[in-house]
Structure 1
Amino acid sequence: MKLRFSLIPLEPSVPGKARLCVSAYDGEHLGVQNYQIQLERKDVDAYLQADGRWGAQSCWLQLQGWTEFEGGVAVLIDASVLDPILLQETGLRIALRNEQGSVVGVRGLSFNPLGLALSSAAGTGAQQAEAVHVLAPVSQHQPEPQPEPQLQPVPAPEPEPVVEPIVAPVEEPEIPAIVEPPASPPVQQAPTKTRSRWGLWVGLAILAAAAAGGVAYWLSQDKPVAPLADVPKEPAGVCSLERMQTMAELTFVQECVNENYDSAQWLEVIGRAKQAGKCEIAQRLYVNKAQAGDAAIALAYAREYDPAQARSTQCFTQANPATAAYWYETVLMAQPENADAKARLQELIQ
């Protein structure tokens, strides 16, 4: 039976705990029973032991509390299983065995680390709080404070009387009355000659023409336009590169994923994150949109781990066939007839 294993964080997330989900890839039903799992490291022959360590002896772990979950079965795992998985950098292989001791299926284990945390992530706040409340013991033989000597009040000297200066009154000068002279008889102006007025008009016309020519010449010159200092800048987008480089990565992703973008726009945002070295942002956006059913995003994410694809970014430098197969399966869940995903999945699971 072809099985699909996945690790899902609890809601809300709890450090050191997660839900292990198992479903049949071909749609077969898995009944609820006391299954056992076996975790094996691919690089060496090492198996996860009951005490959370890796050993050479084959070991089947008995997990209690299997229930039905989204067309399959699931069980809660604690830190003894989750921590070794999260700390392991190489690939893992997981096997499922039923109550009769028969192996139901074996598959590479791939998972989305978003929301999963080591058990060591819990308790830090409590330790810091205890450290804050540690007080140094107070000595029991402290000398009593000696009273300060009383100072005799010194009488303040009486203020000297203020002598106001005597200002002599200033006599205002008498203003003589202004007597207007008698109006003189109007002076008869000589009549202006027509020739003089004609010359004045000609001069004014020449000056106006010169001024108009100067203005036209000044306007015809190419002058640099000074930028407007008070023009407001357009607000940056929620998923812009500027916010990506200045905000906390998790906060940026939580705000950005709510945007109503199409597949091409999301791939553009992810591409900017990879170019800027924001690998966690790129991975979280990939996972969020792929799990939401965007087949194009899931296909692009699968190719990031596909051994047949060339890697040119610093965020996805190593191939991982199990992870690539997982996301190719996600593509086929949304688009069962996707020929590219079918062909690559068939090659990877052989």
Structure 2
Amino acid sequence: MRKIELRPLPDPKPGVGQLVIIGGNVTGEGMSVDIQRNQDEHFLQANGVWGSHPFKFQLPELQTDSDGNQTAVVDKQIVDPLLENPHATNMARFYGPDGAELGRARVKLARDLISSGALGSTPSLEASATLNTPEPPTAPPTPEPPTEPTTVEAGPEVTAAEPEPQLESKTGSRRWLWVALAILLLVIIVGVAAWFVLASRDDEPSENETAQELQQEAEASEPEESTENEAAADNTSVEATEPRPAENAPVLAVAPCSLQRMDEQKELEFIQACTAADGETAAMTLDVIDEALANEHCSIARRLYAHEALNGDIEAALGYARQFDPEQHSPSTCFPAPDAETAIFWYETAQGIDSDNTEARQRLEALQE
């Protein structure tokens, strides 16, 4: 399969969408899907959080749309978590009834999707009119002209009839006033609803602006450096400037990206300190990745590959693609098997950084045949 799109239904509903499988060979029922985000390689769980273990969502029987693509309707379990960070990169893997993987591709979000949180907060015009338009108060009954005393007959009939048109005029004015207020309220409600829908839409990056999309994705997924890490980096620099006895370990042993730190710190803490280290060049980062692979720090290597590639380092993007490319793959602890779909994604990332890159173009042509 070439691409997966999550689109709204023809009759859009908050928290509901349809997975559209483009260029795939999957049909029938009994299928399931898991979703993995590239940021930390965690999988979407049934409760909407991301965990380290895959979770398979059961899909209804696939339907064929007007373009010949297979579609499956999904609810807020999948729609809401993906809309929380629309610029993140997510991979969907499809499985058959027997649990065998049928294919995978990156999930692209349509701009018109609405999360379930919008349910009830953007009522339709008809509902708004029903709920919010105030009813005009019931006019008091017109008093019957008195029949007694008979002295009324002595007065001119015009005088007795004068109050009726005045009351009619006042009642008509009040009704027009309520109608005008109702129309004004409807206009306000329609304006607020339109603003809410427009504000809730995320601008989708175009197909031709891959580099800009990847840059936004890197900014959205890049972890913020904590104050404690800044203090640790400052302390390291201070220690590096102080004179040390000759028998002390060299400064490189305690550098933020050193193997010693890699062994001592938690993965996320190491990634934050290493990527924020002053003077850390792209070439040095690739050396750190090689050292992580050699010492089987697989998650650190994958995260550094993705971080550098999404921040515009074409060598990191090509290097990560080669790890999955069936023609260039070398089995290892961190990359035990090739994966053509993932290789295509990272070659496309490299091509987004440099559209004239020969290796990325040639490998994409070969893998997409």
**TM-score band, normalised by shorter chain:** 0.3 to 0.5
Structure number with greater Rg is: 1
TM-score by length of 2: 0.41
TM-score by length of 1: 0.43
